[in-house]
Amino acid sequence: MTSIHIIVFLPLLAALIAGLGQRFIGAVAAKTITTAGLFTACLLSWPIFISFLTGDEKAYVQPVMTWVQSGALSFNWELRVDALTAVMLVVITTVSALVHLYSWGYMEEDPDQPRFFAYLSLFTFAMLMLVTANNLVQMFFGWEGVGLASYLLIGFWYKKPSANAAAIKAFVVNRVGDLGFMLGIFGVFWLFGTVSIPDILAAAPDKVGSSIGFLGYRVDTMSLLCVLLFIGAMGKSAQLGLHTWLPDAMEGPTPVSALIHAATMVTAGVFMVCRLSPLFETSQFALDVVTIVGATTAIFAATVGLVQTDIKRVIAYSTCSQLGYMFFAAGTGAYGAAMFHLFTHAFFKALLFLGAGSVIHAMHHEQDMRYYGGLRKHIPLTFWAMMAGTLAITGVGIVGVGGFAGFYSKDAIIEAAFASSSTYHMYGFAIGVVAALLTSFYSWRLMFLTFFGKPRWAGSEHIQHAVHDDHHHGDDHAHHGGHADHGDGTAGYHPHESPLPMLIPLAVLTLGAVFAGFLFHGAFIEAETGKEFWANSTLYFNEHLMHAMHEVPLWVKLSSTVAMLVGLSVAYLMYQRSEDAPQKLATMFAPLYRFFLNKWYFDELYNLIFVRPAFWFGRLFWQQGDIGIIDRFGPNGSAAVVSFTSRMAVRLQSGYLYTYALVMLLGLVAAVSWMMVKA
């Protein structure tokens, strides 16, 4: 058994032991097995990544077993290991291992810990299956596996109605995207006669210019297939139109948000586009669609994030926005920059989510930032961790000198969009700069509302009586300190630093948020080193674009830094210097504020177009079809006939012997008469 076998299948084994054997081994053993399994996988993943980084390793395929042989369709279960896989391995296993450790503290008082840890490990296995797939069917297996695990984890607190609703919403919306993905896979097999990814990518250039009939029209074959595949990516990676599930998914435990909705599952769509990048390169139309959708998602989510008050939802919309950056990078052909931002984003966004969890834990599971304030003195370690994450996501750095992780990756995307110079790519550049400003504003707004200013929680009636959004089963898990009134007008409310299992992951992720960009930018986006690194993968590396990206004018390189400073300055003025400014601004621009607050009314629009008609048709088929027709003429109708017949038969049963004798006699006379007539 090779190291890649252990990396992929050890989380599955741990999930089975913890999930099926929890009653026999207990919570501590279940947590220990799953956490140890993930740290083992993590320790084995980093050497693989480093070996590709140094050029000591070449891409290879590790067979597992023969899987399907049916007519023309034949493929094996294989684990593909190349530079692209290696990047995803370290992202998935590192974040998952740290989330497992973090959950020891965060979920300490949850009675269903073994089930939770089993779900986490099951999700990790499915994600590893997705990124090691050497054919589209195996990728789809992992794709659906992470969808299932996401459903289980979002709805983990199944006695909480909002969690159940969020889980169902995520499942249904992703099914819409998955339909596009399935149609894309069917089309690819129809066109190429195989689902093997290397064979498809090798044959793709020969299919350029071909057309196919679709919905009564002749359309470009490669454009159609790529757009269908991208629809799958839109659902999994929460792009505009199929994004509505992601904010609601915050109903799950905070470690779930960090693992699934920041660093791993939501990046599956980006990974898929990069894995199939030579296929997408055959259709400029498809790349333009990817660019437009990605850039529009970036600005949409950033505007909504401006007005959110739930700390987790701010970070959730931030995730949606950063995924938009990754997609429009891929749309411009800068796949290396897209993967670089995926890599750095995993560290600083997981850090922000886990940091938010630490804040929520300290604030007795209060998630509304309006009831925070002044927490940096009470939870200093969490404060500095989130400060590092904020500096990373806002792209703090100095051109020509260096900076935090996001400074390298986000700036690379903006510069690549400008260097591409097409109309759609310039749209991506402009949106990228504006979104950088908005990202800076809502990120620093979160920091100012949470850690600075006067405490808004001491003696707060809201805190004492709030129905906390992050409860599970309605009980106060991890509540410490109590809420007793001391008689002096303040509640006995004491924010507290998180336990060590929660702080260690924050420390490790802080290192990634600070140093990941500086250490690894050469391998991802530099022309020469990047070409060598990505040559060991299926990713299409545009060396010319990477050269052009570094030669853009100085004002382009400074644009995102200036945007970051403007966002920081406005947030400081509004939330530190003039505390009534946000309310005045919201009143002044009330329609726009409501538009952002209601998330561009996507939920209301979908409710009107899809949900209400679906319920109406459901009631129609139930009342008129099922009850009115099927039941009436089926089981209810036959039962009525039997009942009527039995009532008639009962009337013929008098119970008197002479009546029966008379009937027999009459019957005998009738029979004899009939015989005589016939004779």
- In a shared domain, residues 431 and 519: yes
pLDDT, residue 483, reads: 37
pLDDT, residue 570, reads: 93
Tokens of residue 618, six digits: 């459901």
**φ, ψ of residue 530 in degrees (nearest 5):** -65, -40
pLDDT tops 50 at residue 480: no
Confidence of residue 463 (pLDDT cuts 50, 70, 90): very low
Tokens of residue 388, six digits: 């590092």
User: Of 89, 61, 86, 60, whose CA–CA distance to 76 is shortest?
Assistant: 61
CB 231 within 8 A of CB 181: yes
Tokens of residue 505, six digits: 């992951």
pLDDT tops 80 at residue 653: no
Mean pLDDT of 120-149: 94
- In a shared domain, residues 39 and 73: yes
- In a shared domain, residues 434 and 450: yes
- In a shared domain, residues 559 and 611: no
Between 489 and 350, name the one with better pLDDT: 350
Q: Which long-range contacts (CB under 8 A, 24 or more apart) does 396-402 make?
A: 396/564, 397/561, 398/561, 399/554, 399/557, 399/558, 399/561, 402/517, 402/518
User: Of 365, 569, 382, 600, whose CA–CA distance to 479 is shortest?
Assistant: 365
- Dist CA 50 CA 115 (whole Å): 34
Confidence of residue 619 (pLDDT cuts 50, 70, 90): confident
Task: Determine what percent of the chain is predicted with pLDDT higher than 70.
Answer: 94
pLDDT, residue 358, reads: 92
Lookup result for tokens 């707004």? 445
Tokens of residue 473, six digits: 């089963």
User: Of 393, 469, 494, whose CA–CA distance to 437 is shortest?
Assistant: 393
> Is residue 211 within a helix (H) or strand (E), and if so which, with residue range?
strand 211-214
- Dist CA 200 CA 195 (whole Å): 7
- Dist CA 316 CA 318 (whole Å): 5
pLDDT, residue 477, reads: 38
Confidence of residue 476 (pLDDT cuts 50, 70, 90): very low
Residue range 180-205, pLDDT digits in tens: 999 999 999 999 999 999 999 999 99
- In a shared domain, residues 133 and 233: yes
Residue range 387-398, pLDDT digits in tens: 999 999 999 998
CB 338 within 8 A of CB 274: yes
- In a shared domain, residues 670 and 593: no
User: Of 126, 320, 283, 306, whose CA–CA distance to 204 is shortest?
Assistant: 283
Work out how many domains the chain is built from and give that number. Answer: 3
- In a shared domain, residues 179 and 30: yes
- In a shared domain, residues 62 and 74: yes
How far, in whole angstroms, is CA 279 from its chain's centroid?
Answer: 24
pLDDT tops 50 at residue 482: no
Terminal C-alpha separation, the chain:
93
- Dist CA 461 CA 450 (whole Å): 18
- In terms of residue numbers, what domain contains 612? 598-633
User: Of 248, 257, 237, whose CA–CA distance to 298 is shortest?
Assistant: 237
Coil, strand, or helix at residue 502?
Answer: helix
User: Of 32, 48, 33, 56, whose CA–CA distance to 92 is shortest?
Assistant: 48
Look up residue 548 and give its amino acid.
A
Task: Return the axis-axis angle of helices 335-362 and 380-393, rounded to nearest 10°.
Answer: 160
pLDDT, residue 26, reads: 87
> Is residue 150 within a helix (H) or strand (E), and if so which, with residue range?
helix 136-154
Specify the length of the chain in residues.
Answer: 679
pLDDT tops 80 at residue 598: yes
Mean pLDDT of 169-179: 91
Give the least confident one: 77-81, 315-319, 387-391, 583-587: 583-587
- In a shared domain, residues 623 and 591: no
DSSP 596-636: HHTGGGHHHHHIIIIIHHHHHHHHHIIIIIIIIIIIHHTHH
What is the rounded (10 degree) CA torsion for 385, 526, 438, 311?
-30
CB 156 within 8 A of CB 162: no
pLDDT, residue 227, reads: 95
pLDDT tops 50 at residue 487: no
- Dist CA 588 CA 580 (whole Å): 12
- Dist CA 180 CA 186 (whole Å): 10
Q: What is the DSSP letter of 496?
A: -
User: Which residues, including other chains, have CB under 8 Å from residue 410's CB and lie 6 or more apart?
Assistant: 325, 341, 395, 432, 436, 560
Lookup result for tokens 């001491």? 458
Mean pLDDT of 206-218: 84
Confidence of residue 479 (pLDDT cuts 50, 70, 90): very low
Mean pLDDT of 254-267: 82
Residue range 27-85, pLDDT digits in tens: 899 999 999 999 999 999 999 999 999 988 899 999 998 888 888 888 889 999 999 99
Task: Return the axis-axis angle of helices 405-420 and 311-331, rounded to nearest 10°.
Answer: 40
Q: Which of 359-373, 415-429, 434-448, 523-537 has the highest mean pLDDT?
A: 434-448
pLDDT tops 80 at residue 650: no
- Dist CA 504 CA 510 (whole Å): 10
DSSP 267-336: GHHHHHHHHTHHHHTT-HHHHHHHHHHHHHHHHHHHHHHTT--BHHHHHHHHHHHHHHHHHHHHHTT-HH
Confidence of residue 158 (pLDDT cuts 50, 70, 90): confident
Task: Return the axis-axis angle of helices 221-236 and 268-275, rounded to nearest 10°.
Answer: 160
- In a shared domain, residues 436 and 541: yes
Rounded to the nearest integer, the mean pLDDT of the chain is 87
- Dist CA 409 CA 341 (whole Å): 5
- In a shared domain, residues 186 and 113: yes
pLDDT, residue 400, reads: 82
Residue range 80-110, pLDDT digits in tens: 999 999 999 999 999 999 999 999 988 888 8
pLDDT, residue 470, reads: 40
pLDDT, residue 484, reads: 34
CB 388 within 8 A of CB 351: yes
Lookup result for tokens 């023309």? 72
Scored b (16 or more CB within 10 A) or e, 111-143 reads ebbbbbbbbbbbbbbbbbbbbbbbbbbbbbbbb
- Give this prediction's pTM: 0.88
CB 205 within 8 A of CB 192: no
- In a shared domain, residues 405 and 392: yes
Give the least confident one: 306-315, 393-402, 640-649: 640-649
CB 288 within 8 A of CB 210: no
pLDDT, residue 642, reads: 82
Bridge partners of residue 135, in order along the sequence? 196
pLDDT tops 90 at residue 342: yes
Confidence of residue 322 (pLDDT cuts 50, 70, 90): very high
Mean pLDDT of 7-28: 91
Tokens of residue 651, six digits: 């009337």
Mean pLDDT of 555-562: 93
- Dist CA 522 CA 566 (whole Å): 29
